[in-house]
Amino acid sequence: MRDDSVAELAALVRGLKNLTLVQRYCEVVPLRALKATGSEKSNEGVMPTQTLDEFNHEISSCQKCSLGAARTNFVFGVGNPRADLVFVGEAPGKDEDLQGIPFVGQAGKLLTKIIEAIDLRREDVYICNVLKCRPPNNRNPQNDEIELCEPYLIRQLEIIQPKIICTLGTFSSQTLLKTKERIMNLRGNRYLYHDIPLIPTLHPAACLYNRDNKRYVWEDIQKVQKLLLEL
């Protein structure tokens, strides 16, 4: 074999070896490991993944439970698709069902003020619910509805990759933490949900019913702000 042919063959082999190493790296390095190296929120050098809009389009016609047939709008979520902070509520109410946007009623207006109190805008965070459809008469979600809908929330969090989750109220906190503990015992403490730090607080509506609750929410949201600065 000629010398130049041997050199070409050797170069080809080296290139194939390098390609194999890259392929193996892409297969085994988890998304959380990429975040730990400082590659979070960046698509540079990372294979494209599903966007929130694409996922919304995929599931927005869901009819897995009876809520799908009764809804006016599928309430997916709203906000920054790469947010560091995600707020998770219980389920859409009447206003949310009509508009297809979470937290747009009086409680939503108060949530916006809470967000602004820690020097963020509503557009900086992401807001969603455990359930994507309104339960009749705003009743509590049922176990089968949670079982069918929670995977959608988990997938949203996988796409967003937030630093912190803040659950709003008894139901969302108990659902994500798999507990029946009272919200007053859960609030302000730090937990993990799918390896993401989670801090529960009261639902904004609780502050509308009892102004004294604003103090508890403010204490909790300050802990959220502090943790955001630390992570």
Q: Where are the domains of the chain?
A: 1-30, 50-230
Q: Is the dihedral of CA 107, 113, 117, 120 positive or negative?
A: positive
DSSP string, 95-110: HHHHHT-SS-SHHHHH
pLDDT of 48 over the 50 cut: no
Q: Which helix (H) or strand (E) holds 197?
A: strand 196-201
Mean pLDDT computed over every residue of the chain: 84
Contact 168/125 with Cβ under 8 angstroms? no
| Contacts (Cβ under 8 Å, ≥6 apart) of 162 | 83, 84, 85, 86, 126, 196
pLDDT of 34 over the 60 cut: no
Average pLDDT rounded to a whole number, residues 9-26:
38
Per-residue pLDDT, 231 = 86
Residue carrying the six token digits 């998304």: 31
The rounded distance, in Å, linking the Cα atoms of 156 and 50 is: 10
Which homologous superfamily does the CATH classification assign to the domain defined by 50-230? Answer: Uracil-DNA glycosylase-like domain (3.40.470.10)
Q: Which of 29-33, 77-81, 102-106, 223-227 has the lowest mean pLDDT?
A: 29-33
The better pLDDT of the pair 18, 204 is held by 204
pLDDT of 37 over the 90 cut: no
Residue 133 backbone class (left: φ over 0; alpha: ψ -120 to 50; beta: rest): beta
From residue 84, alpha-carbon distances to 15, 72, 91, 125, 132 in Å are 39, 30, 22, 7, 21
Identify which of 32, 69, 38, 57 has the alpha carbon closest to the alpha carbon of residue 158.
Answer: 32
Per-residue pLDDT, 10 = 44
pLDDT of 17 over the 90 cut: no
pLDDT band at 49 (very low <50, low <70, confident <90, very high): confident
> What are the start-end ranges of the E strands in 66-150?
78-79, 85-89, 126-129
Per-residue pLDDT, 15 = 44
Residue type, 3: D
The rounded distance, in Å, linking the Cα atoms of 167 and 181 is: 14
Residue carrying the six token digits 């949310």: 96
pLDDT band at 12 (very low <50, low <70, confident <90, very high): very low
Contact 217/202 with Cβ under 8 angstroms? yes
The rounded distance, in Å, linking the Cα atoms of 24 and 218 is: 47
Residue type, 75: V
Tokens of 49: 């993944």
Contact 99/164 with Cβ under 8 angstroms? no
